[in-house]
Amino acid sequence: MGKKLKNSGLVGLGVVAGVAISLQFSAMAQKPVDPPLPLEELRQLADVFGLIKSDYVEPVEDKKLLTEAISGMVASLDPHSAYLDKKAYAELREGSQGKFVGLGIEIGQSEDGYIKIVAPIEDSPAWRAGIKPGDLISRLDNMQVKGMSLDESVKKMRGEPGSKVSMTILRKDEAEPLVFNITREEIHQKSVKGKLVEPGYAWVRISQFQEPTVDDMAAKILELYKQDPNIKGLVLDLRNDPGGVLQGAIGVAAAFLPKDSPIVSTNGQLPDQKQIFYGRPEYYELRGENDALAKLPAALKKVPMVVLVNTGSASASEIVAGALQDYKRADIIGSQTFGKGSVQTIRQLTADTAVKLTTARYYTPNGRSIQAKGITPDVAVDENADGDGLNALRTREADLDKHLVNDKEAEGAKGKRDELEEQLRIVALEKKRKPLEYGSGDDFQLQQALNHLKGLPVQLAKQGTTVVSVDSAAAKK
């Protein structure tokens, strides 16, 4: 219990801690290396290689040794840089395109050590088989999963299309375990949901920034305006959005800001990492088609807005929240975000392998660095009426070993971790709570966001506060 609980990950996307990357795909480009190669250290590397080949207890393949050496070298830099072998590279590309081969479930680590079903993806094999939110996976193909990491479980649930996996489920109110035999297939995951939660008020949720996200969001907003041409308040829900493709974040922010507004800037060693990204099609269109935002109603630029965030909101979702906050276009409601303010560029090495390398920090339009800090909400609101749930126990960027420091501010000492007794109290409370469905009538933070838009009292985060009234976004527009 001394460690913070990790966020949920999406099966097939390889997102273990709920933190994706602000992806930029790039051909190999590098800064010229002026100093000579460190020959003495390279000789030591060769000597160690030779020792392992001659003295290790059993033979080791050359390819394995060299691949692991590359992997270790890159991984030693920061928590988000990594060597991508053939399988990892393919999975990353699939995830950014919004499709993957698997079962179609969002999972998290349960407090009992099992793998917990957060939600099945609609019309996926898991959804059709009857898997439900809150189910606990106890076995995969007769292998116990208690204590298994999310990454390991993701790998076991992936496979070839048409192959099967046996899943043993523990379900509340069921006396005996349930066994499901599910056939893997290609999952096309929609990253955008939306609906009119009540007359005049729309809710749009982005679960991850993928290549189709801008197009999907534009289509969803057009659909909502057809249902109600006089929308008077919109909630953009970025809770537990781990990030994703950078262009998706630029396009989403551009939809709500004045034309050609600067959205985000980056700064790194290479000239192409010293950039300002504007709300123009050339910065967010990935498919080379018509501008998906061109047909959106003009009213969208001025409709009062709230952006919902939490500790699981990271990277690209922080870019959107930061831009809308800097322009005072929306009020940010929820909890402090994850704090991942670095950009990872994919440098392809071979046809099947690549390096995911941190190449820059990113900054909001006002020049704020989010790295290891995150976005501070304008209005702090807990996840539930009785507290912030597991958000207080989640890992954030500043908790990760070797994380990049915030170059705009001195990094303060980490706050004292929750005492064991308080952690146990929170976990016990969450065990009794049914899984939260974002956008439902039981969504406490969404209800507070709607109250804020209407100028009604909002229940603030429970840090010695009481129910108070705050200026609404509608009143300020």
Longest dimension (CA), the chain: 76
What pLDDT is recorded for position 147?
Answer: 80
- Give CA separation, 144 vs 169, 300, 372, in Å: 11, 50, 36
User: Is the pLDDT at 30 greater than 90, yes or no?
Assistant: no
Task: Judge contact between 275 and 265, C-beta under 8 A.
Answer: yes
Catalytic choice (215, 241, 326, 378): 326
Q: What is the pLDDT of residue 419?
A: 63
Residues 6 or more apart whose CB falls under 8 angstroms from that of 258 comprise: 279, 301, 327
Token output for 172:
């509340």
Inter-residue contact 182 to 216 (CB < 8 Å): no
> What dihedral angle (degrees, nearest 10) is formed by the CA atoms of 291, 292, 295, 299?
-110
Average pLDDT over every residue of 232-241? 96
DSSP 299: G
25/95 Cα distance (integer angstroms): 13
Could you say which DSSP state residue 91 is in? H
CA distance 334 to 394: 15
Q: Measured between alpha carbons, how far is 342 from 127 in angstroms, rounded to an integer?
A: 35
Give the rounded percent of residues in the chain with a pLDDT score beyond 90: 59
Q: Say which residue, 365 or 388, is predicted with more confidence.
A: 365
Q: How far apart are CA 330 and CA 308, in angstroms?
A: 10
Q: What is the mean pLDDT of the chain?
A: 85
- Least confident among 40-49, 189-198, 264-273, 425-434: 425-434
Question: Over the stretch 403-424, which tens digit does the pLDDT of each residue have?
Answer: 888 988 765 445 444 566 666 6
CA 371 → CA 36, 277, 363, 408, distances in Å? 32, 18, 9, 9
Distance separating alpha carbons of residues 412 and 409, to the nearest angstrom? 9
Q: Report how far residue 441's alpha carbon sits from residue 67's, in angstroms, rounded to the nearest whole number.
A: 50
Region 385-410: mean pLDDT is 82
Cα 13 to Cα 154: distance, rounded to the nearest angstrom: 8
Per-residue confidence band for 428, with pLDDT thresholds at 50, 70 and 90: low
Instruction: Give 2: exposed, middle or buried? Use CB within 10 Å, 0-12, 13-18, 19+.
Output: exposed
165 closest CA partner among 189, 199, 131: 131
Instruction: Please give the DSSP secondary-structure letter assigned to residue 238.
Output: -
> Would you call 340 a catalytic residue per the annotation?
yes
pLDDT confidence of residue 430: 67
Q: Report pLDDT digits (tens) over 121-149.
A: 878 899 999 999 889 999 999 899 988 87
Q: Are 224 and 199 in contact (CB under 8 A)?
A: no
Question: Which tokens belong to 21?
Answer: 């990357």
Question: Is residue 258 classed exposed, middle or buried when 0-12, 13-18 and 19+ CB atoms within 10 A define those classes?
Answer: exposed
The rounded Cα 378 to chain-centroid distance in angstroms is 21
pLDDT (0 to 100) of residue 360 = 93
Euclidean distance between CA atoms 305 and 202, whole angstroms: 10
Least confident of 9-18, 126-135, 346-355: 9-18
Q: Is the pLDDT of residue 103 over 50?
A: yes
C-alpha of 198 from chain center: 28
pLDDT over threshold 70, residue 234: yes
The one-character DSSP state at 162 is T
Q: Which of 6, 340, 356, 373 is catalytic?
A: 340
Catalytic residue among 191, 315, 342, 369: 315
Q: Is 315 a catalytic residue?
A: yes
What are the structure tokens assigned to 243, written together?
A: 């990030």
For residue 4, the model assigns a pLDDT of 36
Question: Given pLDDT bands bounded at 50, 70 and 90, which one contains residue 233?
Answer: very high
Give the model confidence (pLDDT) of 256-308 as tens digits.
999 999 999 999 998 989 999 999 999 999 866 689 999 999 999 999 999 99
Q: DSSP letter string over 7-27?
A: PPEETTTT-SSS---EEEEE-
Q: Using the structure block, give the residue that is written with the tokens 């270790």.
A: 72
The distance of Cα 205 from the centroid of its chain, to the nearest Å, equals 13
E strand map for 4-114: 9-10, 22-26, 82-84, 99-102, 105-109
pLDDT (tens digit per residue) in 147-161: 887 778 888 898 889
Beta bridge partners of 264: 277
Residue 17: predicted pLDDT? 28
* 451 vs 387, residue with greater confidence: 451
Q: Helices in 267-407 by DSSP H: which ranges? A: 281-284, 316-326
Query: C-alpha distances in angstroms, 354 versus 313, 315, 424?
Result: 26, 21, 42
Does 231 score more than 50 pLDDT?
yes
Mean predicted confidence (pLDDT) in 26-44: 69
Average pLDDT over residues 66-75: 95
475 or 459: which carries more pLDDT confidence? Answer: 459
Closest Cα partner for 127 from 290, 11, 283, 298?
11
Binned at pLDDT 50, 70 and 90, residue 108 comes out as confident
Helix ranges (DSSP H) in 238-386: 246-256, 281-284, 316-326
How high is the pLDDT of residue 421?
Answer: 63
Whether the pTM exceeds 0.95: the reply is no
> Catalytic annotation on 402?
no
Size of the chain, expressed as the number of residues it contains: 477
